[in-house]
Amino acid sequence: MTESKNPFELAQAQFDRGAALLDLPQEVRDILRQPLREFRFQIPVRMDDGSARVFSGFRVQHNDARGPAKGGIRFHPNETVDTVRALAMWMTWKCAVADIPLGGGKGGVIVNPSTLTVNEKERLCRGWVDQMWQNLGPRMDVPAPDVGTTPQMMGWMMDEYSRLTGEYSPGVVTGKPVDIGGSEGRTEATGYGVIFAVREAMKHLGIDSKISTAAIQGFGNVAQYAAIAFREMLGGAVKCVSCYDQRDRKSYTYSNHDIDPHFLQTITDEYGSIDKTKAAAAGYTIEEGDAWLCKDVDVLIPAALEGQINAETAKCINPNVKILAEGANGPTTLEADEIIKHHGIFLIPDFLCNAGGVITSYFESVQNDMNYYWEKEEVLQRLDQKMTSAFYGVLNMAQDRQVYMRDAAYLVAIDRVVRAMRFRGWV
């Protein structure tokens, strides 16, 4: 069978499975299979050398029955509208499974941000808002940072929106720097959330976390804090992390008997690439390719990009792996899902596993509305409660209906969105 590389087709196929299990009527499937609204626009940007360049931008609002659309903006050279559509749909399910009152959206720009100067990035961010601002807002659609975008960029976007609307509106984007209305704990939130879910999965499976081991793909925001929390909260050992090297355009796995994420952070650039020479000097073993996936560990955490565990790569998963915790969005293809089920690996599906980021973004919006800000400890404690409760919501569904964890997550999420649509009289 040939695997589809189109993430929107994957998202729709996953939705179709959930819709079939819930026996949803056709009109409900029709509204949820496609985004409610899509925006495509051109963003002219004056470059530092005086020339003008035009970038393609997108915003997709998949569903807002449960509340304003919510989701990041990605700056990536290979961005496509179908990637944005898939990610917007996954945001709808993520907010619903986490039981926060938000819908799903996603945005993007086709650009390699590392090729722009700081001033050019600022003009591009302001240009994106200039095209979209009438369809954004704390009660309409609230973007956030994602791959290739940063808290600083959210600061520029918030400023541009506030300038256009004539009032200070910190709640129009989340993931802002703490000094201008960002939330404490947002940086750690997604990685820590992954590990809160892993902790509950280990309790469920009777695994002693203190002698457990993990292999992680990626060493960006999610992976770094997942690695830290795996060691410091669970007391386990991380055997390896992997990352993509921008210069050689290859991925590498960095192994040790128990890697030190704090040290690795000091030799990692802003794009999540580890300095090979410094890692080798510190005694790390460096292997090319997907070595992280074949390690003899208890937990695998893909936290890089979509489509990494596919029919080909899934074959090398070690038979001792017990938990697959999907830190990334859409890291596993439908075909690889079958291999994972066959191995009896316990899956924590992406939109449950990595919901910590959007939960904390929701806390940021709440704090912006109150104009009162919580300490980091309070944010992380509330995050733990929400993640734990979302985990058991899905686990209970999987046990009640005797279904795979991914299907259970879809059942919980789709049901909540459909209930909101029904109460609002849409279907």
Q: Is 278 a catalytic residue?
A: no
**Minimum distance of ligand NAD from residue 91's CB (angstroms):** 9
Rg (CA), the chain: 21
Question: Cα 231–406–197 angle (5° rounding)?
Answer: 25
Contact 283, 254 (CB under 8 A): no
Interface residue with ligand NAD among 61, 213, 329, 365 (CB under 6 A) is 329
Cβ 353 to ligand NAD shortest distance, Å: 9
Pairing of strands 52-63, 37-46: antiparallel
Q: State how far the Cα of 270 lies from the Cα of 291, in Å rounded to an integer.
A: 23
The reply to whether 354 sits near ligand NAD by the rule CB under 6 A is: yes
Angle, helices 186-205 vs 356-370, to 10°: value is 130
**For residues 295 and 298, what is the distance between their CA atoms, to the nearest angstrom?**
9
Count residues contacting ligand NAD (CB under 6 A)?
Answer: 24
What's the min distance (Å) between Cβ of 44 and ligand NAD?
A: 27
> Binding marks (x or -) toward ligand NAD, 221..250, rule CB under 6 A?
xxx------------------xxx------
- 11 contacts 81 by C-beta, under 8 angstroms: no
CB of 80 to ligand NAD, least distance (A): 15
Residue in the structure block whose two tokens are 């038979």: 319
- Helix (H) or strand (E) segment spanning residue 71: strand 69-76
Q: Which is nearer to ligand NAD, 24 or 293 (CB)?
A: 293
Q: Going residue by residue from 185 to 214, which x/- string records binding to ligand NAD, judged by CB under 6 A?
A: -----x------------------------
Stretch that binds ligand NAD, among 40-48, 107-115, 321-329, 409-417 (CB under 6 A): 321-329
Q: How far apart are CB 221 and ligand NAD at their closest, in Å?
A: 4
Burial of 38 (0-12, 13-18, 19+ CB in 10 A): middle
- Contacts to ligand NAD from residues 252-291, by CB under 6 A: 272-273
Give the separation between CA 131 and CA 164, rounded to whole angstroms: 11
183 is a site residue for ligand NAD (CB under 6 A): no
Q: Which of residues 363-422 bind ligand NAD (CB under 6 A)?
A: none
Query: Which one of the listed residues 94, 106, 121, 295 is annotated catalytic?
Result: 106
Please report whether residue 305 would count as binding ligand NAD according to CB under 6 A. yes
Joined together, the tokens standing for residue 178 give 């703490």
Neighbouring C-beta atoms of residue 5, cutoff 10 Å: 12
Give CA–CA dist 266/284, Å, rounded.
Answer: 14
Candidates 303, 324, 340, 398; binder of ligand NAD (CB under 6 A) is 303
Question: What's the closest the beta carbon of residue 359 comes to ligand NAD, in angstroms?
Answer: 10
Q: Select 12 or 273, whichever has its Cβ closest to ligand NAD.
A: 273
Token pair recorded at residue 316 = 């090398």
Binding interface with ligand NAD (CB under 6 A): 146-147, 190, 217-223, 242-244, 251, 272-273, 303-305, 327-329, 354, 357
**What are the residue numbers of the active site?**
106
